[in-house]
Amino acid sequence: DTSVGIFNLSEFTIVATSGIRQLIDGHTVVDRVGEKVYKYYKFRVTCSKCVLSISLAPLSGGDPDLFVNHALFRLPTSASADFQATSYRGDFLQITPKDEAIKSNPRGMMGPYIIGVYGSQNCTYSLT
């Protein structure tokens, strides 16, 4: 289970996670996220001029949102994400070498990405 709970305690935010699932290029993951919970995935880009496309589609219930950070140890949230897509129903992100968050990163497109799916309510979804 890769569920994450975020608790705001006055000045501090505590993030507790029980694992981050590895994504494989070109494979679709079907998963479930609980109400007001983030579920996290990791993906590594190995070429500097690649374009990273991420698609999130709800399959039943809810409207999941997509948050991405270009770093291994920064879990993305609605308050802190390099990229986000929060459209009603399906979300799609395309990250390119021309994006400001990529241009300001010394590794460019290369390196780890953490993808967060947030459920405002219980939801089953596909992530590609």
Find all residues with CB under 8 Å of 92, minimum gap 6, and list them: 53, 54, 55, 56, 85
State the pLDDT confidence band at 108, using cuts at 50, 70 and 90.
very high
Find all residues with CB under 8 Å of 26, minimum gap 6, and list them: 128
79: left (phi over 0), alpha (psi -120 to 50) or beta: alpha
Enter the pTM of the model: 0.83
CA distance 58 to 127: 9
Each residue of 58-84: pLDDT tens digit? Answer: 999 889 999 999 987 899 999 999 999
- Mean per-residue pLDDT for 101-108? 91
Indicate if the pLDDT at residue 6 is higher than 60.
Answer: no
State the pLDDT confidence band at 11, using cuts at 50, 70 and 90.
low
Token pair, residue 9, equals 């305690």
pLDDT for res 16: 53
pLDDT for res 5: 53
What's 38-74 look like in SS3? EEEEEEEECCCCCCEEEEEEEEECCCCEEEEECCCCC
CA distance 45 to 23: 11
State the pLDDT confidence band at 89, using cuts at 50, 70 and 90.
confident
